[in-house]
Chain A
Amino acid sequence: AQSVTQLDSQVPVFEEAPVELRCNYSSSVSVYLFWYVQYPNQGLQLLLKYLSGSTLVKSINGFEAEFNKSQTSFHLRKPSVHISDTAEYFCAVSERKTSYDKVIFGPGTSLSVIP
């Protein structure tokens, strides 16, 4: 069965500093990988996704994530964070074996950007 681990429950970082949010997954088949962001009192929004092809994927607001098949990881990075990046970040995995299998979410990482 697939599972998702986000080792850091909380990550405080100073404004304009770099950040990495870690995500590891377990699965016996090929997967799709996602990062979602949840701003306070809102629903989740898709931040970026890996389906196939280039292992480095980027979002429009400066985040990027790299798929590492050998390490079964999909870490999220940003070289310089802004106050507005304060949010909860969820890594998610879905297996490719059927067209409607369920997506499994990690427990989330709370990113707090300190002025």
Chain B
Amino acid sequence: NAGVTQTPKFQVLKTGQSMTLQCAQDMNHEYMSWYRQDPGMGLRLIHYSVGAGITDQGEVPNGYNVSRSTTEDFPLRLLSAAPSQTSVYFCASSYLGREDGYTFGSGTRLTVV
């Protein structure tokens, strides 16, 4: 089925470890983004991309890196995990213009201990 695939679904990290959250979409969407979801705060934008080779920061980019080498993939890297990065992470994609709304992945639940 066409859509947005996120891996892993669950992850536990120790403080200071690094890891990459994977996101892939097969809908040829130009726009991809990463959000984190925390209780009572809704979704906050971390980074986004409007095409291969183009990325930009969102509302809460500190501690995260992204790259977009292909249209399909948009990995999110945690450089040195901190307990404050414990959250649920969602990848979303859309055609530019967003008139169709976003297609979301099923999320990655990350715990940093």
Residues on A lying within 8 angstroms of B by beta carbon are: 4, 9, 32, 34, 36, 42-46, 49, 51, 90, 94, 99-100, 102-103, 105-108
Tell me if A's interface is mostly helix, strand, loop or mixed.
strand
Considering the chains assembled together, what is the distance between the CA atoms of A43 and B48 in angstroms? 18
Considering the chains assembled together, what is the distance between the CA atoms of A105 and B40 in angstroms? 12
Is the pair A51, B40 in contact by a Cβ cutoff of 8 Å? no
Interface size class, chain B: 20 to 34
Considering the chains assembled together, what is the distance between the CA atoms of A44 and B90 in angstroms? 9
Is the pair A46, B102 in contact by a Cβ cutoff of 8 Å? yes
User: What residues on A are CB-neighbors of B99 within 8 Å?
Assistant: 32, 49, 51
Could you tell me the distance in whole angstroms from the C-beta of A107 to the nearest C-beta in chain B? 4
Is the pair B97, A99 in contact by a Cβ cutoff of 8 Å? yes
Question: Within 8 Å of chain A (Cβ to Cβ): is B13?
Answer: no
Considering the chains assembled together, what is the distance between the CA atoms of A45 and B99 in angstroms? 14
Considering the chains assembled together, what is the distance between the CA atoms of A110 and B77 in angstroms? 30
User: What residues on B are CB-neighbors of A49 within 8 Å?
Assistant: 99, 101
User: What residues on A are CB-neighbors of B97 within 8 Å?
Assistant: 99-100
